[in-house]
Amino acid sequence: MLFSFLLSTALAAPVPATNPLPTVTASSFRIGQEWIWDYSEASGAPYSSERYRVIAIRGNIVEFEMASTYGNAAGEPIPETPHHRLIADLARCLKAHANPASPQPWSIELLYWDQKQAKWISGGIQHPLAFEEKFNCDPHARSTPYRDPVQLDQKQGVDAFHSRSRNGQDRSWYELDGTNAAVAVEKEFHQQGRLTYRFIRRR
């Protein structure tokens, strides 16, 4: 019902702000929850697989472990050994997108495992792309100076939403409802107008 209404509205006019798109909050996550995205080249050849697993929730702050496989191992079970930890403040993410006409900068923290010291080391403050391409914080469906109105479609068998950035940056398709609402389903990456690779959520 919700998808049909939003789709018909999106085709006729921008979706009104009274019908916000789903976003993630700290309550969207639980410890042990995980998702895997499989990356492939434009030819369809496997490129890599990446897993995000929730390991801690502290108020609005959610911490993930990230683990990957590459090449021929893509699409196979991912090793338990993580290569990074990602720390995101969900309140800051949502606040950054509160005003659709003027999104504000925010950042995440990445940590990496130092073999010599045998401990996690902060890699400093980072651009939030590693979080935002997997989880949606933007509730605004109408067009803005920075992106087109929302598009609705079926992706990988689920209802999904997507908006095209006006600076040419690719954006993800996020699931519209259900237990994975606001979690990325698919994303295509382009360079000079040509598809280079994509990711699809495995689960």
pTM here?
0.87
Rounded (5°) CA angle 82-127-26 = 65
Q: Which residue has the tokens 């495995």?
A: 202
| 50 Cβ neighbours under 8 A, 6+ residues apart | 36, 37, 39, 66, 67, 68, 78, 199
Residue 103: C-alpha distances to residues 96, 138, 172 (Å): 5, 9, 17
pLDDT digits (tens, 9 = 90+) for 39-67: 999 999 999 999 999 999 999 999 999 99
Q: Is the pLDDT of residue 144 over 80?
A: no
Query: CB of 137 within 8 A of CB of 159?
Result: no
